Structure 1
Amino acid sequence: MREYSGKKELVDTIQKKYQKYISEFATIPENLKEKRVEDVDKTPSENLSYQLGWINLLLQWEKDEQQGKDVKTPAKGYKWNNLGGLYQSFYNQYGSFSLKEQEILLTKSVMELCEWINSLSDKELFEPEQRKWATTKAKWPLWKWIHINTVAPFTNFRIKIRKWKKLTL
């Protein structure tokens, strides 16, 4: 997994990867948002919904912990070893929105995430065990949780949506 020299590099990378990722949706017509194709595991709407779900979970975990609430990860009623139901909940929650509406929501969520990152100290961002919700056996610092739910899927899902477009448009 990639390492970052500081929060500016992390935020810059998130923004750069997000812009490349979201630009792929500009040519997808609304009437194809639920089109499923072989060899691509998500429709365009599911792709965006997945990203909305994970980024908003990250933000919610932080908000809940700051309010003194007991945070259940990945989410109440879901286990790490069976995430299919959680993904379906993302599709249900965001799938009724148009692709453009999902893009607007995701852009807002990415902006909120970057604001949160910028509000963190280097210790909070780069040292493990800084949040109860992020304290696991793996002892990941916050930046790894953020990376795995933003930079990594923005990069990998961009490839998938490009493949979807090649097979569909």
Structure 2
Amino acid sequence: MPIPQTKAELLTAIIESYRKLAPELASIPPERTAEASLEGHSKGTLMSVHDLAAYLLGWGELVLKWHAGRAAGQVVDFPETGFKWNELGQLAAKFYRDYADLPYPELLARLDATKTALVALVEGESDTALYGVPWYETWTLGRMVQFNTASPYANARARLRKWKKQQGLD
């Protein structure tokens, strides 16, 4: 899928990539969701399907936090307080820990609600606000949203499909 350049393209990318991802996440047998056998976000690590969903939820909620903070005139720590952009593996591990105690069905429900909130965020912005002006350094708001929604949704789906095939779950 090409990189979105407009509000309409961004909405399509988010909605379509999530529409394809959600059934993949829901199809994992409950007893397999906590098994750390999926290639991790940091080189040489393994994670569970639960961790993968937590990662997606963590980034989605972080985008909403960034937007709310900026809208309130606050200084926002990017990517997150206590983390630098070269520490994204550690941030991923934080997301895994943050949601570790959340039962998988609740995690998926919260991920779905976060995707809905992100779609609403995009719907509430103009093309100019999304793509016409820098929002964080040189990046536009639309690009920052896309980096943390449509792209990781598509990546997660590919990871899950590969894992399911390896595990004989297809």
Query: Could you tell me the TM-score, scaled by structure 1's length?
Result: 0.88
TM superposition shift of 1:57: 0.6
Aligned residue for 1:71?
76
Aligned residue for 2:92?
87
Structure 2, unaligned runs of 5 or more: 41-46
Aligned residue for 1:14?
14
TM superposition shift of 1:64: 0.9
Mapped contact 1:30–1:98 kept (Cα < 8 A): no
TM superposition shift of 1:10: 1.3
Aligned residue for 1:51?
56
Whole-Å separation in 2 of the counterparts to 1:88 and 1:112 = 24
Whole-Å separation in 1 of the counterparts to 2:5 and 2:78 = 28
Give percent identity, aligned residues only. Answer: 31
Aligned residue for 2:110?
105
Q: Secondary structure at the match of 1:83?
A: helix
Whole-Å separation in 1 of the counterparts to 2:139 and 2:118 = 18
- The structure with the greater share of residues assigned to strand is 2
TM superposition shift of 1:5: 5.1
Pairwise CA RMSD: 1.7
Whole-Å separation in 1 of the counterparts to 2:36 and 2:13 = 30
Letter in 2 for 1:100: P
Query: Could you tell me the TM-score, scaled by structure 2's length?
Result: 0.88
Whole-Å separation in 2 of the counterparts to 1:83 and 1:6 = 27
Q: Secondary structure at the match of 1:54?
A: helix
Q: Secondary structure at the match of 1:25?
A: helix
Whole-Å separation in 2 of the counterparts to 1:85 and 1:13 = 27
TM superposition shift of 1:17: 0.6
Aligned residue for 1:4?
4
Aligned residue for 2:139?
140
Q: Secondary structure at the match of 1:4?
A: coil
TM superposition shift of 1:37: 2.1
Q: Secondary structure at the match of 1:12?
A: helix
Aligned residue for 1:115?
120
Larger mean CA deviation between 86-95 and 29-38 belongs to 29-38
Aligned residue for 1:149?
148
Letter in 2 for 1:140: W
Q: Does residue 30 of structure 1 match 2:30?
A: yes
Structure 1, unaligned runs of 5 or more: none
Cα 1:67–1:152, aligned 2, differ >3 Å: closer, same or farther? same
Whole-Å separation in 2 of the counterparts to 1:8 and 1:155 = 18
Whole-Å separation in 2 of the counterparts to 1:119 and 1:142 = 12
Cα 1:165–1:64, aligned 2, differ >3 Å: closer, same or farther? same
